[in-house]
Amino acid sequence: MGTPQRKDDHIRFALENDVQCRASAGFDDVTLIHSSLPEMDLEDIRTETSLLGKKMDYPFIISAITGGSERAEGINKDLAILAERHNIGMSVGSQRAMIENESLRGTYEIRKYAPDILLFSNLGLAQIIGMDNGSISSLIDSIGADALAVHLNPLQEVLQPEGDTTFKGGLQRLRELKDDLGCPVIVKETGAGISMEVARLLSFLDGAEISGVGGTSFAAVEYYRAKNALQKHTANLFWDWGIPTVPSIIETKKHISTIIASGGVRNGMHIAKCLVLGASCAGLAQPFLSAVYNRPLTQASEYLDRMVHELRTTMFLTGADSVDELKSLPAVFHGRTREYLEERGFDLKQFSQRGV
Ligand SMILES: Cc1cc2nc3c(=O)[nH]c(=O)nc-3n(C[C@H](O)[C@H](O)[C@H](O)COP(=O)(O)O)c2cc1C
């Protein structure tokens, strides 16, 4: 199956089927501490932040979704207009389709709709292993991106029938790219999370989008795309494989300071929790895809405004009047997430007794 058809399948299955993880991202296991005395007016709250040197009005981005087909072109255009209107960052989806067929470049060219935003290029590790740095640099420049996100998606590649499972040499290629490219390079997962062991190996990079378990499951997408019983069985078994978003933020933060937290981020309170746990900003894919798909852009803007309202409400109720202030708040962990993090050697008092 060709890449454009596969990209359209991903969009179709993400919208028409329940491809969300059954396991939790862990947000319910994190309690922020209520402040009965915020000592500020709601209107004083500032949500601006910066990521990789670029200013954004809100601490979240539109994570990588698509490119490479006619349907994708329309989606990218709407997402770009939305991102520019609200001044948030955005990533295009994997540019693999563009490598295979240069005529698909237009489906990724969104700078005309979003001249000012922080824009990420997106390529898979399996692709960069087989490409030279010059070609990668031209792919980034051709869409006017500010940074490159290399997706690490071994789960997806091993489950999809046409998957590319040649990951050997990936670490070395990332090192060479980082040394050679003149722009920031980050890695991103696609829904299975990043561990502290992997983060340690990748600490020379400019950041990581952890994209943990708890949101869109690519195993679930592959379950619906499966053509035979073995593929279906395996995709079902690995539906929730990986590290949930909350522990993955904390594991990755041990070695990488700039973190984009995605995977099941669904409201403004989740965004606030990501920042308290150490993320620089949050990222959302599926919610933005369904907000723009076959709907007027005003509805997507309303969705975004609702999330900002939820974030500002959380900030007011925790007494944080800025994003930096939010990052210094305490949090208490419970249940499965607490058990997991303690077993992994984290002293959670660093969170629960912050500022005490
Ligand atoms: C339809 C769809 C297509 C995606 N395509 C890409 C992609 O091309 N490259 C990539 O790095 N991530 C891709 N992702 C993964 C997202 O960027 C994100 O990491 C993941 O969906 C978790 O976020 P969510 O729970 O908010 O959806 C895709 C996600 C969706 C829903």
Amino acid letter, residue 81: I
CA of 37 to the centre of ligand 1 (A): 39
3-state secondary structure of 348: coil
| Mutation test residue for ligand 1: of 157, 189, 211, the one with most atoms within 8 Å of CB | 211
Ligand 1 centroid – CA 288 distance (Å): 10
246 contact partners, CB below 8 Å, separation of at least 6 = 25, 26, 27, 29, 30, 212, 214, 273, 277, 337
Atom 3 of ligand 1, nearest CA residue: 65
Q: What is the DSSP string of 14-51?
A: HHHS--B-SS--SGGGEEEPP-S---S-GGG----EEE
Q: In whole angstroms, how far apart are CA 190 and each of 40, 53, 87, 201, 349?
A: 38, 24, 24, 18, 30
Domains, the chain: 3-352 (3.20.20.70)
Ligand 1 closest atom vs CA 149:
11
pLDDT tens for 148-200 read: 999 999 999 999 988 999 999 999 999 999 999 999 999 999 999 999 999 99
| pLDDT of res. 334 | 98
The answer to whether the beta carbons of residues 285 and 262 sit under 8 Å apart is: yes
Residue that the structure tokens 């989806």 belong to:
93
pLDDT surpasses 70 at 1: no
Greater pLDDT, 351 or 8: 351
Say what percent of the chain tops pLDDT 70.
Answer: 99
pLDDT bin (cut points 50, 70, 90) of residue 8 is: confident
% the chain with pLDDT above 90: 92
The pLDDT value recorded for residue 2 is 67
Q: Which residue puts its alpha carbon closest to atom 19 of ligand 1?
A: 190
Residue minimizing CA distance to atom 2 of ligand 1: 65
Q: Provide the pLDDT for residue 335.
A: 98
5 has a pLDDT exceeding 90: no
- Looking at ligand 1, which atom is closest to the CA of residue 266? 26
Q: Tell me which residues have their CB closer than 6 angstroms to ligand 1.
A: 10-11, 14, 63-66, 93-94, 122, 151, 188, 190-191, 211, 215-216, 262-265, 284-286, 289
Distances (CA, A) of 353 to 30, 72, 269, 273, 347: 14, 46, 21, 16, 11
Sorted by sequence, the CB contacts under 8 Å of residue 74 that are 6+ apart come out as none
**Ligand 1 atom nearest residue 64's Cα:** 17
Q: Output the pLDDT for position 91.
A: 98
135: left (phi over 0), alpha (psi -120 to 50) or beta: alpha
Mean pLDDT of 232-254: 98
pLDDT recorded at residue 199: 98
123 and 152 Cβ atoms separated by less than 8 Å: no
CA of 285 from ligand 1 middle (Å) equals 5
Beta strands in the chain (DSSP E): 30-32, 49-51, 54-56, 60-62, 89-91, 119-124, 147-152, 185-189, 207-209, 259-262, 281-284, 331-333
Atom of ligand 1 nearest to the CA of 288: 26
Q: Determine the atom of ligand 1 nearest the C-alpha atom of 190.
A: 19
pLDDT of 284-304, one tens digit each? 999 999 999 989 999 999 999
Hey, whose CA ends up nearest to atom 1 of ligand 1? 11
